[in-house]
Structure 1
Amino acid sequence: MQVLIKLGRHGGCYFIRNYTKLELQQDFAWPGWPFMLAWIPIACIGGYLIGGNIALVLTGDTRKLQNNGYGLIIILSACLIAALVSTIYLYSRNYIASMEACNAAIQQKATESHLRLLQSQLEPHMLFNTLANLRVLIEVDARAAQEMLDHLNDFLRSSLNGSRTTNHSLEEEFQRIQDYLALMKIRMRERLKIEVELPPQLNRIPVPAMILQPLVENAIKHGLEPTEHGGTISIRAKNLNQQLHLYVQDDGCGTTPSLVQEHGSDGYGLQHVRERLLHMYGDKAIFDIVNPPSGGYIAHIQLPIDQASSLS
């Protein structure tokens, strides 16, 4: 009986999908209750006749199936009730699973839209800071300003593809950061020293696009630029116990009260970093900021490597 019910369910869906203009209302194979309420009694009678005769043949029983009287009515009624109950149960389970999948897809799209909104807000923020730096440089060194503009064009060109995706490889993230640091190096010259450490085995680990950009900007703007002699910015990646650790460190003046007053308790870019990590990883990601005893500023991000396999 269950085999016949399932064959009718899938056969009805196939017929509706290919030979009628009607649309199936559910994502799973379901031709509708009117069809199924008509098919289930047929499947019960057919299943009783086919299954009963098979049983007689297999057992060698010479009796015939009961095909009339109250006994047949009782048997078919019990089978019909069991078939309806099981069909309703399976329909409800499939319906709930379909709704959960639909809700998950909607939630995923909402999350991706929110992440793209955050990224679209962050990119102009970075661009405005760079253009402000370029305007200052034009007044003091036109040749260096032209070189910086060339680097800016290269940086924006490489960032265009990255801005269209939610995440990319750690290697691409480091490349974009180095393009940005090349711009800052033109302006700060010998005042800016750069250290980058990316183990080759971590190159293909996926990370949120431009997740390090605001941390590097913050380190330069609030840690190194205010000091007379500048300093060193260090960007490192490590794999510790299947956790990806990203560090942006400078040896400048560290976090200052002016940063809190100007940008709020966490800063514009830092707030975006926290929100993006929260939406993409939940409580599986860690983001903290410390002032080491030796001075300066360390921004630390910890991500689970096993949550996203290496990009091919």
Structure 2
Amino acid sequence: MTDRIDDAVKRGFAPSEEAPEGLADARRSRFSTKAGGRSANDRSGNGFLADSALSDDMDLRPRNFVQRRLPDLGIALKSILGFWLLYLALITLRAVVLDFPDFWAMLARRGAVVLIGAALTFLVYLALRPLAASTLNRKAIVAGILCLPASIAFSAFNYYVFYIFAPLDAAEWDASMKDLTPLEMALQNIVESALSWYFIFAAWASLYVAMSYAKELRAADRRAAAFAREAQEAQLRALRYQINPHFLFNTLNSLSALILSQRIEKAERMIMTLSTFFRTTLSADPTADIALEEEIKLQRLYLDIEQVRFPDRLKVEVDVPEHLAGVRVPVLLLQPIVENAIKYGVARSRGAVTVRISAYEEAGRLHLKVKDNGEVPPPHSCDDCGGTGVGLKNVCERLIARYGVQAGCFHGPDPEGGYTVHVIMPVIRND
């Protein structure tokens, strides 16, 4: 019989057994920041600060200079190109509709003017880049100031192309200031045109600042969502890995008592059940969903172990309809609730206590209830949830974070006696 126990222990806790992926990786890397690197537990001189331990996977230096300095380059180029191509199309359409003379020669010059306008707009973008981390109001004010010299420069170039550099008949036809000297006419034309062009550049600047700010908001939303997912996954992993130490200690004490009293077969069954429980909970993906029947099996394993501690006091009832067996639920959702029922309902009672797990479907929602008819726990004791470090409060928050307003969690003294925890969530089945 002793050989059977040894064999059971080996099968349950054998060192050669394949460890969970995260644990195996941690053993191989010894918690180093680099594969095959040194550990924080190494001797002095061989730790993180030696040999540039953070120079590979955790190198914080940017690998793309342009991406670091010009993160909104794509937005700027697309907006500039679209803006000035639209302007070229509109003035060309205007020339066609009004039948301006020298159409093709003027079109070539309009194209040159548009290129200069795009170049000046790009310079405004470059001048705005140092303000990437500034507030929206400051960006808008600086953009408005930068558009003024850009509009003056563009107006001067536009005047030079159409009125100074080989003037065309169309330019002569458009001129209305022949009584002024050439310098006066140039200055007046440039100033008046600059006011009109200013609003063109300001329109682009407003578009760019708005698009850039919208991109920053989207990036912030993605970061916030990523942090929320990481926090939720960390909470789920805590639920799996932070095994109740009192449960483990009490189980080992019960196992020791069984061995001392020569109840070897019962001790062997308890070892196998404990091994299966730990192996299942540690190998399950904490962020995944499992079938309700699998979740119930996990709770039965736990309750089988507790029944060894309380053979005369703990009674278990499970009422789960067959059509709900395949409904998907978060893994180990019921574990802290059942532990709470054992700690406060069974352990504190002198008589027999029944822990009942039931499920039913109503209005497209899955209702799960864990009820015990033991002594009612004192106020606020459920926040402890049996020492798991998660608590009923976090279980409820986990449901709400996962399903939103479609989920809920209620718990309190039952009118019929004892304590009841009621969990509601959407009914999700595999397609």
- Do these two structures clear the TM 0.5 threshold for a shared fold by scoring above it? yes
Summarize deviations over 1:184-242 as a string: whole Å, max 9, x none: 34555575443212234434444343232233234345434566663432111122334
Among residues 31, 35, 45, which one is paired with 2:73 in the alignment?
Answer: 31
Unaligned runs of 5+ in 2: 1-62, 111-161, 164-188
SS in 2 for 1:86: helix
* Other-structure match for 1:10: none
- Which one is further off, 101-110 or 43-52? 43-52
Q: Does 1:52 align with 2:52?
A: no
Matched, 1:155 2:246: no
- What's the % identity of the aligned pairs? 25
Name the TM-score, length of structure 1 as normaliser: 0.70
Q: Work out the CA distance in 2 between the residues paired with 1:266 and 1:247.
A: 16
Show the counterpart of 1:249: 371
Whether 2:181 is the aligned partner of 1:62: answer no
Aligned partners of 1:139, 1:300: CA distance in 2, in Å?
38
- Of the three residues 65, 68, 83, the one matched with 1:22 is 65
CA displacement at 1:105 relative to structure 2: 1.4
Question: Deviation per CA, 1:248-301, whole angstroms, max 9, x where unpaired?
Answer: 2233x32256996xx9886535962222322441685323121433x4x23313
Give the residue type in structure 1 aligned to 2:67. L
Report the TM-score, using the length of structure 2 for normalisation: 0.53
User: 2:383 & 2:235 partners in 1: Cα distance?
Assistant: 21
Residues matched between the structures, number: 279
1:1-312 to structure 2, matched below 5 A, reads 21-22=64-65, 24-25=67-68, 30-31=72-73, 36=77, 40=80, 44-54=83-93, 56-57=95-96, 60-63=97-100, 64=103, 68=162, 70=189, 76-140=197-261, 141-162=263-284, 164-169=285-290, 170-186=292-308, 188-189=310-311, 192-224=314-346, 230-251=352-373, 253-255=374-376, 267-269=386-388, 272-281=391-400, 284-293=407-416, 295=417, 297-305=418-426, 309-310=428-429
In the superposition, relative to structure 1, how do residues 125 and 62 fare at CA in structure 2: closer, same or farther (>3 Å)? farther
The answer to whether the Cα contact below 8 Å between 1:245 and 1:302 also exists between their aligned partners in 2 is yes
Q: 183-192 or 146-155: which moved more?
A: 183-192
User: Which residue number in structure 1 is paired with residue 33 of structure 2?
Assistant: none
Find the aligned partners of 1:177 and 1:219 in 2 and give their Cα distance.
Answer: 12
Structure 1 window deviating more from structure 2 (147-156 vs 234-243): it is 234-243
Tell me: CA distance 1:226–1:134, structure 2 relative to 1, closer, same or farther (3 Å). Answer: farther
Q: Report the residue type matching 2:396 in the other structure.
A: L
Match of 2:124 in 1: none
- Post-superposition offset of 1:149: 0.7
Q: Give me the whole-angstrom Cα distance separating, in 2, the residues matched to 1:191 and 1:266.
A: 20
* Whole-angstrom CA distance in 2 between matches of 1:155 and 1:265: 22
Is the contact between residue 197 and residue 235 of structure 1 (CA under 8 Å) also seen in structure 2?
yes
Q: Distance in 2 between matches of 1:73 and 1:270?
A: 68
State whether residues 236 and 246 of structure 1, in contact with CA within 8 Å, keep that contact through their aligned partners in structure 2: yes
